[in-house]
Every structure is written in structure tokens, then in C-alpha cells.
């Protein structure tokens, strides 16, 4: 988006590794900010080694999360390089960090001290379990947050081993919350010229994703169990197996349930059965209802189910594997894939005036911008 990008002219330091802080940095870079990534000269971002597959010696995970950034390596134990870090902080508009608790203070870097010298600085901490409490100093990754916030307890199937959500939704969600907090602080700074201290964590993000199950427990005392592809509150709202694959059906209200019964062969009587007319009754009688829907779908192909339900206006879609998603015409149509470094990557999931924000850049090699950035200091 060039000079017209919303955050053009802002400089953000990313003292980040793995997923959460790098994802936040990716969003800011695509919105036009200059994002300078500070890395350990020996190891770099841990995600550089999270492969295979690899591209240009770094894991594709790293490339996916770090496009459009600059990389400088700094050894905090070296006084001269630590001075470079402090200089960069004073010149930056914002800092994002998800280093282990206490690491920066160990080397004499404290937010309050930096803020005294740079009152307009926006500082964002992304922690594992929050900045206070008995687990505040505990190290953490996405699966630990999924486990400790109850997400894994409602994921998968009952009486089966625990299953984590297959993507790092807590890490990436934390990065999103960090950006939301930083953008609100940037807006406030335009009025007050004052910076802010933003803090979020994987634990808090996991709890926010559990808003509905936790609310149900608060009201009823119910401890939710997993429903596979389904949902505790709505029936039918899950994947069903057709003769040649799976189809996801979301009959999210009573009218849609009746339409589903009209659209699928042999289910007309089910749609007029008073035992299932209301969603609350379908939820409590799911074990009576679902086998009948399953039997009707089992003899149909995915395409036949889709055509039948589309014909009566019931939300549905086939379950697609990654290769099918990659080549799906809708993926191409929305224009979310961005080309960089000879490959296509997933860009930001929104547009601004019909243009998708993107830095257009590639992920930096470790220390690729050491000389240019140090010359600026």
C-alpha cells in the first residue's frame, strides 16, 4: 500500500519469537509500519527452525509470520549492542515483546525507565499466563494455553484423548489483541501525545475464546464436554458423513432445521415432529435426532447434499483438506493470497477501500539489516 498505508511512518520494534509477537508484527507491517525485528545472533527467532519444510534455510512458518520486516541481531550481554537496543527503543513509536518473563530487566531494560525518556512510546507485553498471579512467571506456548483455559476440554470427542485445535489460534489471537490494544493507544496518542503500556497473554486470550462455555457454567454449573464437530448449544450444527466425504451443516435456527428436513430425502416428517420443533428440544434429544439425519446423508454424495441444501437455503459446505483449500476458486476470488519471494502466502483477512493491506515484502534473513539499522543509530 506504500505511503498511503494507514501506519506508514510508524516504527515498531519486535522483540518477538515463535508466533504471538511475530504475528502482531506481521499485521502492523502489512498495515504499513516499519517493523524492526530484534533477534538473538546465535539462534534467531526459534521459528526459523520449525520445519521442514524450509525455504532459503528458514522454516516456512517463519516466512509466513515475518514478511515485510527488517532483522537486526543484538547480543544483550554486550554493552555496545545493548546501547543500540535502547537507542532503537527511544526512536520507536511502539515495542512488542514476548520474551521470557524477567529477561529484559535482567539486562537493565525496564519499560518505566524507557517511558520516562520517551513519554509517547507504546509498549506491548505478550506473556504466557498474565503479568500477575501464581502462574505469571511460568513459561508457556499455545498448547499450554489451550489446555489451561479449557479449550482442549471442549475440543475433540467425548471419552477420547485430549485434542488441541489444529492451528495456533491462541498465539495468533494474542497477536491480534496486542494489535487492537496498540491501535487504540495510537489513536489516544493523537489526542494526548502520551504513550501506553499494553499487556495481554495467551492465558487471557484463551479465556476470551471460552466466553460462551464459561458463561454457560456460570449460569448452570454445567461442565461442557466436547461434541466433535458439533456445538453444545445448537443442533444440527456439525459435520455429517456422506458416501464420498464429509459435509458441514449449520442449521442455526428453527426455520433452517425445517428447511433441512424439506431438502433431504425422507425427512419431511422429522421437520414437523413437535419433539424437534425448537432448538432447545433438539439439543436435549440430539441422540434421537442426529442418527436420522446421518442415515439420510450417508447414501448421498457430498455434491448431492450440497445441492439439496443450497436449494432450500441451509448453510453447508464440504470439509476441505489443505490442498483443496489452496486451489478452491473462492480462495482465489477473495484475493487473500499474496505473492512474495516466489511463493504465495496468506495475507491479511480484510480490505480497506477494496484494497488488501500488504507490505509486499519478504521475510528477512537473520541479521539482514544489521549494518543499515546500526548506521541509523
Domains of the chain, first to last: 2-209+335-376 (3.40.50.10540), 237-320 (3.30.1540.10)
The 10 Å Cβ neighbour count of residue 100 is: 14
Q: What is the pLDDT of residue 111?
A: 87
Catalytic residue among 125, 171, 273, 310: 171
171 is catalytic: yes
C-alpha span between 363 and 228 (Å, rounded): 37
Q: Distance of CA 141 to CAs 100, 136, 169, Å?
A: 11, 13, 11
Assigned C-alpha cell, 337: 493470497
Q: What is the pTM of this model?
A: 0.94
Contact 182, 120 (CB under 8 A): no
Q: What is the pLDDT of residue 1?
A: 58
Q: What is the pLDDT of residue 14?
A: 98
Angle 288-291-297 (CA atoms, 0-180°, nearest 5)?
145
Q: What is the pLDDT of residue 102?
A: 86
Q: What is the pLDDT of residue 377?
A: 81
Contact 77, 107 (CB under 8 A): yes
Angle 339-344-348 (CA atoms, 0-180°, nearest 5)?
75
* 50-108 pLDDT, tens digit each: 999 999 999 999 999 999 999 999 999 999 999 999 999 999 999 999 998 889 999 99
Cell 494489535 sits on residue:
179
Mind listing the pLDDT tens digit of every residue in the chain (377 residues)? 566 689 999 999 999 899 999 999 999 999 999 999 999 999 999 999 999 999 999 999 999 999 999 999 999 999 999 999 999 999 999 999 999 888 999 999 988 899 999 999 999 999 999 989 999 989 999 999 999 999 999 999 999 999 999 999 999 999 999 999 999 999 999 999 999 999 999 999 999 999 999 999 999 999 999 999 999 999 999 999 999 999 999 999 999 999 999 999 999 999 999 999 999 999 999 999 999 999 999 999 999 999 999 999 999 999 999 999 999 999 999 999 998 889 999 999 999 999 999 999 999 999 999 999 999 88
Contact 93, 12 (CB under 8 A): yes
Amino acid at each position: 500500500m506504500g505511503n498511503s498505508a494507514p501506519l506508514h511512518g510508524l516504527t515498531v520494534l519486535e522483540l518477538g519469537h515463535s508466533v504471538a509477537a511475530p504475528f502482531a508484527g506481521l499485521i502492523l507491517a502489512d498495515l504499513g509500519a516499519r517493523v524492526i525485528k530484534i533477534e538473538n545472533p546465535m539462534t534467531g527467532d526459534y521459528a526459523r527452525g520449525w520445519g521442514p519444510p524450509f525455504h532459503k534455510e528458514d522454516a516456512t512458518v517463519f516466512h509466513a509470520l515475518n514478511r515485510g520486516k527488517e532483522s537486526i541481531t543484538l547480543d544483550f550481554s554486550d554493552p555496545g549492542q545493548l546501547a543500540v537496543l535502547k537507542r532503537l527503543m527511544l526512536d520507536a513509536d511502539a515495542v512488542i515483546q514476548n520474551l521470557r518473563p524477567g529477561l529484559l530487566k535482567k539486562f537493565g531494560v525496564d519499560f518505566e525507565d524507557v517511558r520516562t525518556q520517551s513519554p509517547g512510546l507504546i509498549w506491548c507485553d505478550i506473556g504466557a499466563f498474565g503479568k500477575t498471579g501464581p502462574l505469571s512467571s511460568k513459561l508457556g506456548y499455545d498448547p499450554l494455553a489451550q489446555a489451561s483455559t479449557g479449550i482442549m476440554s471442549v475440543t475433540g470427542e467425548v471419552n477420547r484423548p485430549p485434542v488441541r485445535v489444529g492451528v495456533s489460534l491462541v498465539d495468533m489471537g494474542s497477536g491480534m489483541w496486542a494489535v487492537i490494544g496498540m491501535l487504540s493507544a495510537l489513536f489516544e496518542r493523537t489526542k494526548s501525545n502520551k504513550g501506553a503500556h499494553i499487556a495481554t497473554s495467551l492465558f487471557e486470550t484463551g479465556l476470551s475464546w471460552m466466553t460462551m462455555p464459561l458463561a454457560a457454567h456460570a449460569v448452570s454449573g454445567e461442565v461442557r464436554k466436547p461434541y466433535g464437530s458439533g456445538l453444545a448449544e445448537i443442533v444440527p450444527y456439525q459435520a455429517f458423513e456422506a458416501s464420498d466425504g464429509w459435509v458441514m451443516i449449520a442449521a442455526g435456527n428453527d426455520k433452517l432445521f425445517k428447511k433441512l428436513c424439506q431438502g433431504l430425502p425422507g425427512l419431511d416428517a422429522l421437520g414437523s415432529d413437535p419433539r424437534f420443533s425448537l432448538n432447545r428440544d433438539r439439543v436435549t434429544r440430539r441422540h434421537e435426532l442426529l442418527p436420522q439425519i446421518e442415515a439420510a446423508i450417508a447414501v448421498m454424495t457430498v455434491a448431492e447434499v450440497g445441492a439439496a441444501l443450497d436449494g432450500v437455503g441451509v448453510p453447508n459446505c464440504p470439509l476441505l483438506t489443505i490442498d483443496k483449500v489452496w486451489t478452491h476458486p473462492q480462495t482465489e476470488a477473495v484475493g487473500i493470497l499474496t505473492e512474495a519471494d516466489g511463493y504465495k502466502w496468506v495475507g491479511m483477512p480484510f480490505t480497506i477501500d477494496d484494497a488488501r493491506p500488504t507490505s509486499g515484502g519478504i521475510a528477512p534473513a537473520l541479521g539482514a539489516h544489521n549494518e543499515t539499522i546500526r548506521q541509523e543509530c
